[in-house]
Structures are given as structure tokens and as C-alpha cells.
A and B are shown apart, each in its own frame.
Chain A
Amino acid sequence: MSLPKPMMRGLLAKRLRFHLPIAFTLALTAAIAFKYTVTEPKKQAYADFYKQYDAVKEFNAMREAGIFESVQPTGK
């Protein structure tokens, strides 16, 4: 009784055909994940910050806290 001849060629190519699509998919996933967990939230955070930003109110709060040297807190 003889065994079937094992596959002896193209083993590396087969490994590459298996792993390269996974590699590209993983790389694209990493990039998309970074885009939607870091890049887009950061853009949105800046947009939201300036949408509600009241420069006068913030300036007055900083002024009263004594942060500025060119402007003293009211009452000084």
C-alpha cells in the first residue's frame, strides 16, 4: 500500500498567499482605527471647543485668576 505523494512544491508561495492578504487587511484596519479613534475625534474636539467658545468670558476668568501681566484682576 503506497501513501499519496505529499505536496512538495510551492509551500512558501502558499504561505504568502495566506498571510499577505491578512497583512494588508490588518494594516488597513490599523490605519482606519487610528483615523476614527484619534484623527476624527481630535478634529471634532477642536470644532466643538470653538463652537461654544466665549473669548470674553474666558479672558475675564483668566484675568481674575491673575494669569496675565498686562491686565490686572478687577479691583487691583
Chain B
Amino acid sequence: MAHPSQLGFQDAASPVMEELLHFHDHALMIVFLISTLVLYIIVAMVTTKLTNKFILDSQEIEIIWTLLPAIILILIALPSLRILYLMDEINDPHLTIKAMGHQWYWSYEYTDYEDLGFDSYMIPTQDLAPGQFRLLEADHRMVVPVESPIRILISAEDVLHSWAVPSLGVKMDAVPGRLNQTAFIASRPGVFYGQCSEICGANHSFMPIVVEAVPLEHFENWSSLMLEDA
């Protein structure tokens, strides 16, 4: 989850998010390069009274300030497209979960083997236990096995929502009447938080997503228990 006064991304918990982090650093490096150059030139230009009113054209400078930006754009585009196609690969998922957005909660369905489904409502602030996070905790978490490719099918029952978990590098719109697909692998066990990312009404800020990644045997125990309780 995010922590106070945080500036950068949350720590990556999936291989895709690690790639996104490194790409962001690469793009930011280029941003600093261009910003430093432009800022220096601006300061140099405003701190002089010298002018040249007689420049008409210059083929050399035109070539330079066309080629250099083109090269920079290619240096940004190549890793960007690489990650874009990487994110689209869904290789043999071990599990498929359906996440449905409602006003104002998520529901999860695990229908690969049995019919397991449950709703996930935010825990109100007054009901939080000590150590729990305000506006982020949910009564039922989406439990997944760690280090397994998980396919998520996302849709909505009423208005637009968006299923997002920043530390897993996942965000996908939940559109009524449409089934969107995304996938992730949780690289390590833990609890990962997200929030609805598409305005959906009064309680848009109060329908969080909590993903709990545990070893496979514990996931199987949990799903058996949930089926018994249902």
C-alpha cells in the first residue's frame, strides 16, 4: 500500500510492475536530460541583452533539432512497446477469477472447479481493528496462490468501475456489458491493496480491492472453507 509522503510507485509485487518501474526510471532519466538542457538555455537567453535580428534559416540546426528528438522518441518507444506487448501475454493461467464491479463493492467468482462467489465490501472506519488501514480494508479479500499466473475477467453490473492494484501493476476498466481480461503473477506472499479507479457515484472512494497472495496449499484450504460456509 502507499505510505505517507510517498513520491514514487509502491514496491513491485509482480514481474510486470517491476518492468514498469524500470521503464518509468528510464523515461524520467530522459525527462531530466531534456529539462536540464532547456532550463540552462532559458537561463542563458534571459540573462543577456545580446540579440541577432538577421538569422533567416540554418539547415544544420534544423537537422539537429529534428534528428535528436526523433532519436529520443525512439529510445522511449522501444522499451515502451516491449512492455506493452509483455503485459498482453497471458500464458496458461492456473486460475481464472471474475471480478464484478457494483455500486459500491466488488464481487469475486472462482468458478474453475466449484461455484465460489462472495462480495467484498469496504470495512467502515468505525469498525476497523487496530492496525488495519482506513478506506483500504475489505471484509472479504480476493485470495490467490502466490507465484501462479492468474487471469482476471473484469466487468460491472451497473456503471463503469475500474479494478486496480498498483503494486501488482494491474488496472482494467470494469465496463457493464463487456468482459475485460488481464493477468498477473504475485511474486511474493503478502496483502496488496487497490481502490476503484473509475468514478462510479457517491461511494467511489469506498470500494477498495484487497488481494491476498498465499502458498497454494493455504489457498486450497481457504477455498474449501469458503465453499463450506457458502
The answer on a CB contact under 8 Å between B32 and A34 is yes
The answer on a CB contact under 8 Å between B214 and A55 is no
Measured CB to CB, the closest approach of chain A to B76, in angstroms, equals 13
Q: Does B198 make an interface contact (CB < 8 A)? A: no
A residues 11-43 in Cβ contact with B at 8 Å: 11-13, 15, 19-20, 22-24, 26-28, 30-31, 34-35, 38-39, 42-43
Of B22, B33, B189, B214, the contact of A39 (CB 8 Å cutoff): B22
B residues 199-230 in Cβ contact with A at 8 Å: 212, 214-215, 218-219, 221-222
Residues in A lying within 8 Å of B, measured CB to CB: 11-13, 15, 19-20, 22-24, 26-28, 30-31, 34-35, 38-39, 42-43, 46, 50, 53, 55-56, 58-59, 62, 67-71
Q: Does B141 make an interface contact (CB < 8 A)? A: yes
Measured CB to CB, the closest approach of chain B to A75, in angstroms, equals 16
User: Which residues of B sit under 8 angstroms from A15, Cβ to Cβ?
Assistant: 44, 48, 50
The answer on a CB contact under 8 Å between B22 and A42 is yes
Chain B 153-192 per-residue mask, 1 if CB under 8 angstroms from chain A, else 0: 0000000000000000000000000000000000111110
The answer on a CB contact under 8 Å between B33 and A27 is yes
User: Which residues of B sit under 8 angstroms from A69, Cβ to Cβ?
Assistant: 141, 212
Of A12, A26, A58, A70, the contact of B141 (CB 8 Å cutoff): A70
The answer on a CB contact under 8 Å between A30 and B32 is yes
Q: Chain B's interface: helix, strand, loop or mixed, by majority?
A: helix
**Chain B CB within 10 Å, residue with most, of A20, A53, A55, A58:** A55
24 A/B residue pairs, CB under 8 Å, sorted by A = A15-B44, A15-B48, A23-B41, A24-B37, A26-B40, A27-B34, A27-B40, A28-B33, A30-B36, A31-B32, A31-B36, A34-B32, A35-B29, A38-B29, A42-B21, A46-B18, A50-B187, A55-B188, A59-B214, A62-B189, A62-B190, A68-B191, A70-B218, A70-B222
Measured CB to CB, the closest approach of chain A to B40, in angstroms, equals 4
Q: Does B143 make an interface contact (CB < 8 A)? A: yes
The answer on a CB contact under 8 Å between A31 and B51 is no
User: Which residues of A sit under 8 angstroms from B147, Cβ to Cβ?
Assistant: 55
Q: Does B30 make an interface contact (CB < 8 A)? A: yes
**Complex: how many Å from CA A43 to CA B18?**
9
User: Which residues of B sit under 8 angstroms from A12, Cβ to Cβ?
Assistant: 48, 50-52
The answer on a CB contact under 8 Å between B146 and A22 is no
The answer on a CB contact under 8 Å between A31 and B219 is no
Q: Does B83 make an interface contact (CB < 8 A)? A: no
User: Which residues of A sit under 8 angstroms from B146, Cβ to Cβ?
Assistant: 55, 59
Q: Does B74 make an interface contact (CB < 8 A)? A: no
User: Which residues of B sit under 8 angstroms from A24, Cβ to Cβ?
Assistant: 37
User: Which residues of B sit under 8 angstroms from A13, Cβ to Cβ?
Assistant: 52
Q: Does B84 make an interface contact (CB < 8 A)? A: no
